[in-house]
Amino acid sequence: MASDGKGKSETAKLRRGFGWIAALGVILVLAGLVGLIYTGVATLTSMLLFGWLLLIGGAVGLLHAIQARGTNFFWLGVVVAALNIAAGVVVIRRPEAAAEALTMFAALLFLTGGVFRLVGSLVVRGPQFGWTLVQGAFGLLLGILVLASWPSSSKYVIGCFFSLALLFDGLGLIATGYGGRRIVGMVSDRLAAEDGTRSETDEPHAKPVQPE
């Protein structure tokens, strides 16, 4: 009886955990949808978040470098931490300029990635030839479109990508939470059915009545 109660408690905890995962997914989906509507605000928010992450990461790296002073990697850690701190300060102070630079970098990545995929698909012609060709053409077209409207495209490109990442991550968490709750429910129901069957088979049989 005690083990049965403990099992139900663990099952309830698992269901609540998966429920919280699904709730977090809903929040991320809502944030992604809002970001897709207000892409300018999403771009500014993502750049500020990126700047603070660089700043905090640089401060933590500097503390680790100070703790490891006397080793061969002390000055390397100090230089990397100082660069992260400087980059974080610049991004926080000038988020618009940082968004323009990051948008240019993303467009160049799309261009080079698209060209390499196109050339690779035409040269290799493997089993995924058509899909690789479509990916290369899409990346090349996206890079050209972003560069054609740069720097005005920097106001919405980063925010759009950031919002799409939140949206798809949220959908993944919702699917994980919903699927996890279903699996836990199915397993608990099956275990309960097996326990019921076992208890019925373990009942003592009635003694036969002896004739007088």
**At 1, is the pLDDT very low, low, confident or very high (cuts 50, 70, 90)?**
very low
Task: Give domain limits for the chain.
Answer: 18-190
Mean pLDDT across 127-143:
78
Q: Which residue has the higher pLDDT, 27 or 181?
A: 27
What Å distances lie between residue 181 and 7, 26, 212, CA to CA?
15, 15, 59
Give yes or no for residue 23 having a pLDDT over 80.
yes
Give yes or no for residue 158 having a pLDDT over 50.
yes
Element (H, E) at 119: helix 95-124
Enter the pTM of the model.
Answer: 0.64
- CA atoms in the 13 A half-sphere facing the CB of 206: 3
**Residue indicated by tokens 């699917």:** 175
- In whole numbers, what is the pLDDT of the chain averaged over residues? 78
pLDDT 10s digits, 91-126: 888 888 888 888 888 888 888 888 888 787 777 776
pLDDT for the residue 6: 56
Give yes or no for residue 30 having a pLDDT over 60.
yes
